[in-house]
């Protein structure tokens, strides 16, 4: 990813929280600082933030970076088609047994035994109880009915649990609890449209591809390639992105892939280096769908890519 945060588990188990802190090599250009500052302002006011954008725009990494600024443990959830509400809040798992033997009077034996169902918290419940930061990555991959439990959490600051214990049926959300969501509106497979009631409770920030300077800075930091070489690769990928000759948009990840392999192999980002050219073609030609119609476009696409490589890396 363009940006990264270091994480480590605070404790083991299904509800393990993460201690998240910004990495020393985190790239923070004016564009990134502006996004972070705005998101933190919304969270400070008590509003959950939703980063929405296409693949490769840095949604998850930005969410973790913003979470790190809050200084609280993080509960990370990845949306899943198979999720039910119980996967977020927990449920009744197993039994707790109690046995009492009373021999206060030596000649009289009183014996009592009962069993109660045992409630186990999952990530959302733990975050609400403890005041952790919830990062719900790709939340629209979960079915809307699974996410309905979030409505009361985000609005009334109450989490209602389906437990038989009256004492534990309602969890009052900790005042330090914050929530950050991410989603990709361009995905169509396995993605659900978020219900209006939930979307209305979120401050949605749409993320697009970063400006040229930011992409160069991130590619340089993540690959170890000198800035001059990273600039050539970023300009190549950006021009390919602008061409529209692909089925899957070439993102910043493409820049990092090409630059990192180039640096690790000790290559020059030059059109005269056959191995470098092959790396560019391997990464970028794959952005065309593998169908008979798409394969017909491959010769034309390769010709265009070779022309872009020569243009940006010919010197």
CA distances from 208 to 56, 79, 234, 251 (A): 9, 21, 16, 10
pLDDT in tens, 69-88: 999 999 999 999 988 888 88
Q: Given this model, what pLDDT does residue 213 score?
A: 94
Q: Given this model, what pLDDT does residue 4 score?
A: 44
**CB 64 within 8 Å of CB 20:** yes
Q: Given this model, what pLDDT does residue 247 score?
A: 83
Q: Given this model, what pLDDT does residue 207 score?
A: 93
Token pair in block for residue 304: 């265009």
**CB 151 within 8 Å of CB 173:** no
Bridge partners of 52?
Answer: 183, 206
Q: Given this model, what pLDDT does residue 70 score?
A: 94
**CB 30 within 8 Å of CB 211:** no
Q: Given this model, what pLDDT does residue 1 score?
A: 42
Q: Given this model, what pLDDT does residue 3 score?
A: 43
pLDDT in tens, 26-37: 888 898 999 999
The tens-digit pLDDT sequence of the chain (315 residues) is 444 444 444 444 445 778 777 777 788 889 899 999 999 999 999 999 999 998 888 899 999 999 999 999 999 999 999 888 888 887 656 556 566 666 666 666 666 666 566 667 889 999 999 999 999 999 999 999 999 999 999 999 999 888 666 567 888 999 999 999 999 987 666 788 888 999 999 999 999 999 999 999 999 999 999 999 999 999 999 999 999 888 888 999 999 999 999 999 999 999 999 999 999 999 998 887 666 666 777 788 889 999 999 999 986
Token pair in block for residue 74: 């993080």
Q: Return the H-helix or E-strand segment holding 78.
A: strand 74-78
Q: Three-state DSSP class for 307? A: helix
The whole-angstrom separation of Cα 138 and Cα 76 is 11
Report phi then psi at 310, rounded to 5. Answer: -65, -40
Give the burial string for 2-24 (b: 16+ CB within 10 Å, else e).
bbbbebeeeeeeebebbebbbee
């Amino acid at each position: 990813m363009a940006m990264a945060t270091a994480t480590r588990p605070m404790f083991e188990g299904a509800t393990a929280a993460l201690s998240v802190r910004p990495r020393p090599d985190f790239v923070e250009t004016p564009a990134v600082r502006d996004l972070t500052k705005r998101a933190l302002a919304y969270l400070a006011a008590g509003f959950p933030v939703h980063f929405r954008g296409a693949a490769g725009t840095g949604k998850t990494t930005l969410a973790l970076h913003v979470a790190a600024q809050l200084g609280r443990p993080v509960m990370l959830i990845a949306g899943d088609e198979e999720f039910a509400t119980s996967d977020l809040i927990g449920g009744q798992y197993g039994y707790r047994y109690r046995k009492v033997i009373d021999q206060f009077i030596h000649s009289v034996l009183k014996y009592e035994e009962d069993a109660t169902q045992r409630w186990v918290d999952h990530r959302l419940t733990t975050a609400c109880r403890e005041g952790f930061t919830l990062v719900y990555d790709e939340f629209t991959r979960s079915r809307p009915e699974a996410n309905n439990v979030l409505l009361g959490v985000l609005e009334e600051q109450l989490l209602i649990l389906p437990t038989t214990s009256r004492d534990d049926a309602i969890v009052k959300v900790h005042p330090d609890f914050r929530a950050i969501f991410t989603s990709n509106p361009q995905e169509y497979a396995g993605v659900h449209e978020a219900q209006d009631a939930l979307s209305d409770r979120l401050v949605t920030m749409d993320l697009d591809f970063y400006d040229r300077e930011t992409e160069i800075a991130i590619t340089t930091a993540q690959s170890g390639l000198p800035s001059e070489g990273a600039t050539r690769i970023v300009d190549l990928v950006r021009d390919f992105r602008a061409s529209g000759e692909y089925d899957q948009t070439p993102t910043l990840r493409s820049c990092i892939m090409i630059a990192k392999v180039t640096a690790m192999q000790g290559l020059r980002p030059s059109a005269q280096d056959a191995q470098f050219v092959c790396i560019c073609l391997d990464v970028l030609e794959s952005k065309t769908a593998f169908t008979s119609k798409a394969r017909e476009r491959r010769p034309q696409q390769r010709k265009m890519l070779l022309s872009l490589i020569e243009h940006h890396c010919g010197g």
